Amino acid sequence: MSEGPASDAPVGEGPGDAPVARPARAARRHDPGRRDRILDAALDVIAEHGVAGTTHRRVAAAADVPLGSMTYHFADLDEVLRLAFERHADAAATRYEASMAQSAGGDVADRIARLVCEETVEHPRDLVLALELYALAARRPEFRQLTQAWMQRSRRALEQHVDPTSARALDAVVEGLVLHTVLSTEPFDAQRVRALVGRLVG
């Protein structure tokens, strides 16, 4: 038996049938902050699971957004990582710049010593994120644009107090002191940090 002509009527609406009510399509929720929330959530996921454990699904769950929002707002996971780390680096650099600006006309060695110790106590999550970014940039050169821009901002902040050559050396020393303080079982205290920095800034 041949099939009859296909009907254009919606399913459930044959001849003589009353139209079947269909549920209205849900309106898309207006959520202008969704993209920013995804990036903030990405940093939370990276801090907890590391870059290696960061997935679209985990970030979407942490941000409380549909999984499809990830590919709607971002080309791929690399873009999520790049923009999230860019946000992290900007916040850390801004905090560092503000701290160095407070030292204008004061004891820069003392300010740096307090900053090193404060970072390890008050911002442990940021240190974990920094280490994840460093490891990623070490493996994948395209992410070094982020670390380079971050270092340049740190050096400019230090150049308010010392010459550019000294600022570059001091930036490396400060970075090393922060890492040694957070990774060591015998961290530097503010007095020891101040003594070391004082040798560089005079």
Average pLDDT by consecutive 10-residue portion of the chain (202 residues)?
42 47 49 93 99 98 97 97 98 94 76 85 92 98 98 95 92 91 85 86 74
pLDDT of the residue at 196: 86
Q: Please answer whether residues 108 and 161 qualify as being in contact, where contact means their C-beta atoms are separated by less than 8 angstroms.
A: yes
Is the domain 82-201 a CATH 1.10.357.10 member? yes
Cα 53 to Cα 42: distance, rounded to the nearest angstrom: 11
| Burial class, 183, CB count within 10 angstroms (exposed 0-12 / middle 13-18 / buried 19+) | exposed
pLDDT of the residue at 34: 96
pLDDT of the residue at 8: 41
pLDDT of the residue at 188: 81
pLDDT of the residue at 10: 40
Residue 29 backbone dihedrals phi, psi, to 5 degrees: -70, 135
Annotated domain spans of the chain = 32-74, 82-201
**Domain range 32-74, CATH architecture:** Orthogonal Bundle (1.10)
Q: With 0.85 as the threshold, say if the pTM is over it.
A: no
| Burial class, 141, CB count within 10 angstroms (exposed 0-12 / middle 13-18 / buried 19+) | exposed
pLDDT of the residue at 106: 66
| Burial class, 200, CB count within 10 angstroms (exposed 0-12 / middle 13-18 / buried 19+) | middle
